[in-house]
Amino acid sequence: MNLLLPHQEMIRIDGDARGLTILCHQGSLWLTQPGDMRDHILTVGDTFTIGQKGIIAIAALQNAFLEMVPRKRPGDSCTFNLSMTPKWNRFQPGYFTKAKTQACLTENAGITVT
């Protein structure tokens, strides 16, 4: 699934996304995950594979184009919800409607949008 994320917009991944790889194709991203005290900054060409269950926050430090690639081992599946929040208001669900969020997606890879 590919996603265009405007400057200072944030997505929230909630559930079991372990093994999901985030690829930064344009711009730069800030990423944090539970149990990891480090902030991760991705720039063009960088990748990050999620290693923890729970809420993952990804924010655009610049206008960004990113790709989410689910794990590929037989029998594995990523089960999580993806939601968007406005300009650093991280965890306020409901700001974007499902239709607005779907309009931002360039592909639908079977991810539930809430």
Residues 6+ apart with CB under 8 A from 91: 12, 55, 85
**pLDDT tens series, the chain, 114 aa:** 888 888 888 888 888 888 889 999 999 999 988 888 888 999 999 999 998 888 889 999 999 999 998 876 655 566 677 776 655 444 444 444 444 444 444 343 444 444
> Could you say which DSSP state residue 102 is in?
H
Q: What is each CA distance from 59 to 9, 21, 63, 73, 88, in whole angstroms? A: 6, 15, 10, 28, 8
Task: Give the domain ranges of the chain.
Answer: 2-113
* CA–CA gap between residue 114 and residue 102 (Å, rounded): 10
Select the CATH number that applies to the domain covering 2-113 from these four: 2.40.160, 3.30.70, 1.25.40, 2.60.120. Answer: 2.60.120
